[in-house]
Amino acid sequence: METFTYYPGCTLRTKAKDLDTYARKSAECLGINLEEPADWQCCGGAYTTAKDEIATKLSAVRTLNSAKELNRPLITVCSACHNVIKQTNYDISNDEEMAAKVNNYLKLPEPYNGETTVYHYLEMLRDVVGFDTLAQKVVNPLKGKKIAAYYGCLLLRPSKALAMDDPENPTIMEDFIKAIGGTPVIYAQRNECCGGYITLEDKAQASKRSSAVVRSAKDQGADMIITACPLCLYNLKKNSDTELPVYYFTELLAEALGLKEVQNG
C-alpha cells in the first residue's frame, strides 16, 4: 500500500466534509494510504503572485516541507489548496530569490527548494492508480448519467505552474467520469471562473458567473455537475439562476466504488 501525505485544508474540516470523507474512503478502497501531517496550517485560500510577498507563502512551504521530510508526494483535494500549494512549489523551484527569502524566514533544518511532488487527488487517480484500474474496481457504474466536469479556474491555471492538464482542452475529469461509468458532457464554460471568493461582497457578480457556468452545462444536456472545490460548489448551487445538482467528484467516486448510498439525481 502506497502512502502519501494528505493535506485536507480548512474547508474540508467544516463545510466540505463530504469532499474529505469520500476522498479518504475511496483512497482506502483503492489501496492508497493517506496520512495527514501532524499539524498543518491553512494555505491561505489564494496564492499571492506578488514577488515581494513572502509571509503569505510560508504556510504552504511548511506543508510542502513536511511531505519532503517524509519523502512522500503530497496529495491535495480542494482546488484552492491545490492551486496555492502548486503555485508556491513552482515559484520556489524557479525563483531563487524567493526561495532564499522564504528559507531565511523558516530556518528549516534543511532549506526547501521545491523537492516535493504535488498531486491533486485526480492526478493521483490518473497517474498512480490509473483510470483503467479504477474502472475495474467500480461496482456501481453511473450508467446513463450525463455528468459535466467543472474545472473552474483553480485546477488548471496558471498552466505553467499547475501543469495538470491542457488548460483549454482538459480531459482528466472527463476520463474520470468515464472510469466511473458516466458520460462526460463537454461545455465551453467548464474552465471559466464561478465568481469565487467575490461572492462574499458581490453576490451579483458571483451570480452572473455561476449562472453562465450552470447554464452552459445544462444547455449541453448535463444532469449534474461535479467539482473539486467547496467554493465552486457553493457558488454553483447557491448563486446560479439555473438549477442543476452539484456534487464533489469524490462523492460520485465513493458511490461508484460502493462506499456511499446512491444519489437520487
Partner 1 sequence: MDKNLKEQVLRSSGVNVLKCMRCGKCSGTCPSYDEMEYHPHQFVYMVERGDIETLMHSKSIYKCLTCFACVDRCPRNVEPAKVVEAVRLAAVRQQGNNHMNPNQIPEMLDDDLPQQAIVTAFRKYIK
Partner 2 sequence: MKRIGVFVCHCGTNIAATVDVKAVAEALGHEPGVVISQDYQYMCSESGQNLVKNAIKEHNLTGVVVCSCSPRMHENTFRKAAASAGLNPYLVEIANIREQCSWIHKDIASATEKAIILGKAAVAKVHLNSPLTAGESPVVKRALVIGGGIAGIQTALDIAEAGFDVDIVEKNPTIGGKMAQIDKTFPTLDCAACILTPKMVEASQNEHITIHSFSEVADVKGFVGNFTVKIKKKARFVDETKCTGCGLCTEKCPMKKVPNEFNMGLDNRTAIYIPFAQAVPKVATIDPNYCMMLQKGKCGICSSVCSVGAIDYKQEDKIIEQQYGAIIVATGFNPIKLDKYDEFAYNQCPDVVTSLELERLMNAAGPNGGTLLRPSDKTHPHKIVFVQCVGSRCDDSKGKPYCSKICCMYTAKHAMLIREKYPDTDVYVFYIDVRTPGKNFDEFYRRAVEQYNVHYIKGMVGKVTPRSDGKIDVQASDLLANEQLHIDADMVVLAAAIEPDKTARPLATMLTTQMDTNDFFTEAHPKLRPVESATAGIFLSGACQGPKDIPETVAQASAAAAKAIGLLVKNSITCNPCVAHSDELMCNGCSSCEKVCPYGAITYIDKEFRMPDRTTAIRRVASVNPAVCQGCGACTVACPSGAMDLNGFSNSQIMSEVDAICK
Instruction: Report the interface residues with partner 1, using CB under 8 A.
Output: 9-11, 14-16, 42, 44-46, 48-53, 56, 78, 80, 152-153, 156-159, 167-168, 192-193, 195-202, 205, 209, 212, 230-231, 234, 237-238
Task: Select from partner 2, partner 1, none the partner in contact with residue 209, using the beta carbon and a kind-dependent cut-off of 5 to 8 Å.
Answer: partner 1
Per-residue binder mask for partner 2 (CB under 8 A), 127-166, x = binder:
---------------------------------------x
Residue of 100, 139, 188, 262 that binds partner 2 (CB under 8 A): 188
Q: Which residues contact residue 60 at a Cβ distance below 8 angstroms, ignoring those fewer than 6 apart?
A: 43, 44, 47, 84, 85, 88, 89
- Binding test (CB under 8 A) with partner 2, winner from 52, 97, 168, 261: 168
Instruction: Indicate the residue among 63 and 210 with the shorter CB distance to partner 2.
Output: 210
Q: How far apart, in Å, are the Cα atoms of 192 and each of 61, 81, 156, 170, 241?
A: 28, 18, 10, 12, 17
> To the nearest whole angstrom, how small is the minimum distance from the Cβ of residue 208 to partner 2?
12
The smaller minimum CB distance to partner 2, of residues 125 and 156, is found at 156
Pairing of strands 224-227, 74-76: unpaired
Smallest gap from residue 48 Cβ to partner 1 (A): 7
Instruction: Between 222 and 231, name the residue whose CB sits nearer to partner 1.
Output: 231
The Cα–Cα gap between 153 and 5 comes to: 24
Residues across the chain: 265
Residue 87 amino acid letter: Q
**Measured between alpha carbons, how far is 163 from 158 in angstroms, rounded to an integer?**
8
Return the one option of partner 2, partner 1, none that residue 53 interacts with (CB less than 5 to 8 A, by type).
partner 1
Q: Using the rule CB under 8 A, which residue among 28, 69, 115, 192 binds partner 2?
A: 192
User: Choosing among partner 2, partner 1, none, which partner's interface includes residue 169 (Cβ < 5 to 8 Å by kind)?
Assistant: partner 2
Q: How many CB atoms lie within 10 A of CB 221?
A: 11
| 6-34: burial string, b at 16+ Cβ within 10 Å, e else | bbbbbbbeeebebbbbbbbbbbeebebeb
Q: Report the nearest approach of partner 2 to the CB of residue 153 (Å).
A: 12
Q: How many residues bind partner 2 (CB under 8 A)?
A: 12
Contacts of residue 181, Cβ cutoff 8 Å, sequence gap at least 6 = 135, 138, 140, 141, 142, 143, 145, 256
Query: What residues numbered 203-242 form the site for partner 2, per CB under 8 A?
Result: 216, 219-221
With CB cut-offs between 5 and 8 Å by kind, which of partner 1, partner 2, none does residue 197 bind?
Answer: partner 1
Residues lying near partner 2 in the complex (CB under 8 A): 166, 168-169, 186-189, 192, 216, 219-221
